[in-house]
């Protein structure tokens, strides 16, 4: 199959979250299944080094109509693997900025224009490839299926092309003023409640949901949850209307990067067969966070964006109770200021129990995964979640709320601990069960071995995507 991925961020070029991990790993896994894959993304020239990635100028200009003006971009390319090509679209006014989507002051005000330009330029590139599948991701590229069913309906290059939209997080929809409709090049007949209109605004993701041939989310449970009012972010009815083409495929992780027996970031390497090295990593993390070095005190890790989605309001409520226990907690994260302040305040009060680092630090993330005994993810919602999968690989038992991908991948008291109700009390009870189990070394070792044995590599997920692509091509 000839597969084109259109995406706004991808490892190894640039990353703000799990989307980039998926967009980096999936093409390689599809290619190893024998498919030709192209990945098209914006060329963020302030973030992406042309030298490091050996990016070449294709010498081609791309002109896109945006409203009543024309914007010109340039095409650059590089090779990621034998049958994986990357296409980067350069347009410095749009993408030569310090960040991808926003600054601390808020979203870039011209995000609609930026991603209309990118999506249309990417479709021009895709038309030269004549793909079987165009796979787009999240709101940034969700207009691609709309264009294929409207402006490009009769384009020969897309005659046999099917579109898949993957929703990585329904909380971000690309919501803009109705005035931006004229930038899309689509007629006002598309601005209706069953297409792109959402309470008087223009909603990119809703357009993708209405027009894609297939829709997927990054776990089975999340695909069910988003049909409910509680998790649907206002799009539950639009999704229910397309329920027959909605599926969930859980993400994998890259075991070349996340593997405790190969991980150069660790103080000591270890594996399921020989876990001795894990204790040296625990000691290193305790030292890094200036906590007392104690082997027998359970160490709980958290690596996360500090937002309410990730359950930090529960943690705030539970802190006084948690700090009474004989435990240590280490937190690495960036995000909302109110959570920075809350965590730093508690850490000041309990310096021997809580360590907080407000930073984005990949090396430290590896060390925490390796050194912790448990990993806490009390998310309000979690489309897939990568950290619980990483934790399993490092024999660190996840304590999770039963939502989205956390529910699909963690079984209570089998490879971790799980609670259902979104409350501090339910979370505390679940942590209590994990602490009890930690006191019984035989039981704990058995749980660790089950965790080590879990396989969430990309192979199985890529096969599921291939099956989905094939099904779409037959329909």
- 471-475 long-range contacts, Cβ below 8 Å, gap at least 24? 471/214, 472/133, 472/162, 472/164, 472/213, 472/214, 473/1, 473/132, 473/133, 473/160, 473/162, 475/162, 475/213
Distance separating alpha carbons of residues 164 and 78, to the nearest angstrom: 24
Question: Which residue, 150 or 304, has its beta carbon nearer to ligand ADP?
Answer: 304
* Tally of CB atoms within 10 A around 262: 12
Distance separating alpha carbons of residues 401 and 418, to the nearest angstrom: 5
Question: Which residue, 41 or 202, has its beta carbon nearer to ligand ADP?
Answer: 41
CB of 224 to ligand ADP, least distance (A): 19
- Alpha helix (H) residue ranges in 212-355: 220-225, 236-241, 277-288, 312-322, 337-349
Question: Which residue, 145 or 398, has its beta carbon nearer to ligand ADP?
Answer: 398
Distance separating alpha carbons of residues 300 and 475, to the nearest angstrom: 48
Question: Which residue, 17 or 96, has its beta carbon nearer to ligand ADP?
Answer: 17
Question: Which residue, 334 or 423, has its beta carbon nearer to ligand ADP?
Answer: 334
Q: Are 285 and 363 contacting, i.e. CB atoms less than 8 angstroms apart?
A: no
Question: Which residue, 134 or 306, has its beta carbon nearer to ligand ADP?
Answer: 306
Distance separating alpha carbons of residues 248 and 233, to the nearest angstrom: 18
Residue 197, φ and ψ in degrees, nearest 5: -85, 140
Handedness of CA 212, 215, 218, 221 (dihedral sign): positive
Closest Cα to residue 215, out of 156, 119, 151, 144?
144
* Tokens 């448990």, located at residue: 374
List contacts with ligand ADP (CB under 6 A). Answer: 17-18, 21, 303-305, 332-334, 360-362, 365, 384-387
CB of 387 to ligand ADP, least distance (A): 5
CB of 332 to ligand ADP, least distance (A): 5
CB of 368 to ligand ADP, least distance (A): 9
Label each residue of 290-332 as H, E or C. CCCCCCCCCEEEEEEEECHHHCHHHHHHHHHHHCCCCCEEEEE
Distance separating alpha carbons of residues 147 and 426, to the nearest angstrom: 46
* Tokens 């083409």, located at residue: 245
CB of 157 to ligand ADP, least distance (A): 33
Distance separating alpha carbons of residues 305 and 284, to the nearest angstrom: 23
CB of 169 to ligand ADP, least distance (A): 6
CB of 360 to ligand ADP, least distance (A): 4
CB of 417 to ligand ADP, least distance (A): 18
Question: Which residue, 271 or 334, has its beta carbon nearer to ligand ADP?
Answer: 334
Question: Which residue, 18 or 248, has its beta carbon nearer to ligand ADP?
Answer: 18
Question: Which residue, 197 or 408, has its beta carbon nearer to ligand ADP?
Answer: 408
CB of 168 to ligand ADP, least distance (A): 7
Residue whose Cβ sits closest to ligand ADP: 18
């Amino acid at each position: 199959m000839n597969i084109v991925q259109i995406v706004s961020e991808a490892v190894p070029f640039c990353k703000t979250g799990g989307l980039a991990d998926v967009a980096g790993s999936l093409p390689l896994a599809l290619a190893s299944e024998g498919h030709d894959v192209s990945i098209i993304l914006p060329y963020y020239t302030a973030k992406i080094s042309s030298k490091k990635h050996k990016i070449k100028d294709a010498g081609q200009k791309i002109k896109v109509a945006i409203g009543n003006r024309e914007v010109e971009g340039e095409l650059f390319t590089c090779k990621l693997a034998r049958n994986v090509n990357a296409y980067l679209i350069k347009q410095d006014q749009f993408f030569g900025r310090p960040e991808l989507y926003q600054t601390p002051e808020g979203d870039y005000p011209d995000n609609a224009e930026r991603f209309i330009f990118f999506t249309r330029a990417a479709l021009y590139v895709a038309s030269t490839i004549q793909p079987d599948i165009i796979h787009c991701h999240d709101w940034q590229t969700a207009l691609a299926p709309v264009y294929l069913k409207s402006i490009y309906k009769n384009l020969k290059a897309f005659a046999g092309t099917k579109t898949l939209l993957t929703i990585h997080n329904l909380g971000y929809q690309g919501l803009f003023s109705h005035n931006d409709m004229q930038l899309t090049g689509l007629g006002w007949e598309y601005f209706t409640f069953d297409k792109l209109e959402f309470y008087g605004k223009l909603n990119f993701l809703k357009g993708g949901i209405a027009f894609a041939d297939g829709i997927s989310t990054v776990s089975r449970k999340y695909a069910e949850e988003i049909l409910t009012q509680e998790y649907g972010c206002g799009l539950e009815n639009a999704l229910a209307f397309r329920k027959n083409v909605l599926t969930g495929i859980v993400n994998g992780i890259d075991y070349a990067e996340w593997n405790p027996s190969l991980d150069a970031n660790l103080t000591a390497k270890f594996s399921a067969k020989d876990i001795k090295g894990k204790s040296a990593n625990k000691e290193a993390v305790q030292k890094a966070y200036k906590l007392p070095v104690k082997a027998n005190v359970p160490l709980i890790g958290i690596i996360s964006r500090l937002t309410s989605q990730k359950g930090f309001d529960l943690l705030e409520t539970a802190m006084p109770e948690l700090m009474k226990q004989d435990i240590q907690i280490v937190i690495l994260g960036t995000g909302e200021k109110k959570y920075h302040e809350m965590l730093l305040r508690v850490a000041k009060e309990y310096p021997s129990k809580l360590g907080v680092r407000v930073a984005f630090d990949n090396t430290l993330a590896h060390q925490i995964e390796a050194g912790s005994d448990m990993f806490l993810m009390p998310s309000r919602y979690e489309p897939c979640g990568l950290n619980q999968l990483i934790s399993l690989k490092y024999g660190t038992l996840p304590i999770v709320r039963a939502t989205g991908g956390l529910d699909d991948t963690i079984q209570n008291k089998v490879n971790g601990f799980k609670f259902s109700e979104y409350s501090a009390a339910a979370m505390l009870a679940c942590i209590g069960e994990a602490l009890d189990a930690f006191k019984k070394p035989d039981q704990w070792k058995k749980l660790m071995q089950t965790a080590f044995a879990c396989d969430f590599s990309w192979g199985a997920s890529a096969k599921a995507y291939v099956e989905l692509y094939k099904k779409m091509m037959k329909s």
